[in-house]
């Protein structure tokens, strides 16, 4: 059986998801799993697809970046599928792990993809540093600290920490951190 997996990062990318699905079906997929989730978040549909495949099946994706977020993640998926006796085909790269050459190419190209990602992150860090030096980048203001006056007002009204968390949408640790910082500032 050929099992396909298609993913886009956001719900707005419907055309990209439909294009992947059409390509996978044209390539003979018996079942296609569709997911709209960022590669950094939990991908439940990917997990369902991996659970679904059986020995002798082929797991098919159109592009490498639709499957894995890093070389480590790629090899985690590859090892899980290999343990089940499932091959991987990545159409856009002409890779099929049923062959030794395909397995080698997957490893080499995965390494290049990881290198490219690291270079992009390095350029991003350099850009952020330059923006900070120019005074154009301030970073994110912590959500709870922005609401510290409101946290302290609710505490003074006798609200419990869970009630404050719910009312303001902040974590337990953030509420305690603000309270501790306010109490410490009053001691000084």
Choosing from 9, 39, 148, 171, which is the catalytic residue?
A: 9
Is 9 among the residues known to form the active site? yes
d(CA 140, CA 73) in angstroms, rounded, equals 28
Cβ neighbours around 68 below 10 Å, total = 20
| Per-residue tokens: 89 | 């085909």
Contact 57, 86 (CB under 8 A): yes
Contact 46, 39 (CB under 8 A): no
- What are the CB-based long-range contacts (under 8 Å, 24+) for 18-27? 20/62, 20/66, 23/62, 23/91, 24/60, 24/61, 24/62, 27/2, 27/60, 27/91
Q: Return the active site residues.
A: 9
């Amino acid at each position: 059986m050929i099992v396909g997996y298609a993913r886009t990062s956001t719900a707005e990318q419907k055309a990209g998801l439909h294009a992947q699905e059409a390509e996978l079906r044209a390539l003979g997929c018996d079942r296609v799993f569709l997911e709209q989730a960022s590669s950094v978040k939990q991908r439940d549909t990917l997990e369902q697809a991996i659970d679904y495949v059986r020995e002798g099946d082929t797991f098919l994706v159109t592009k490498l970046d639709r499957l894995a977020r890093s070389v480590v993640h790629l090899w985690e998926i590859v090892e899980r599928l290999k343990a089940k006796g499932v091959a991987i085909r990545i159409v856009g790269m002409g890779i099929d792990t049923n062959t030794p050459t395909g397995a080698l190419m997957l490893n080499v190209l995965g390494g290049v993809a990881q290198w490219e990602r690291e270079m992009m992150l390095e350029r991003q860090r350099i850009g952020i540093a330059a923006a900070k030096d120019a005074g154009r980048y301030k970073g994110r203001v912590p959500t709870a600290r922005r609401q510290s006056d409101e946290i302290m007002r609710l505490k003074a009204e006798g609200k419990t920490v869970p009630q404050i968390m719910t009312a303001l949408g902040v974590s337990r640790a953030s509420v305690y951190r603000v309270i501790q910082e306010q109490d410490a500032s009053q001691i000084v």
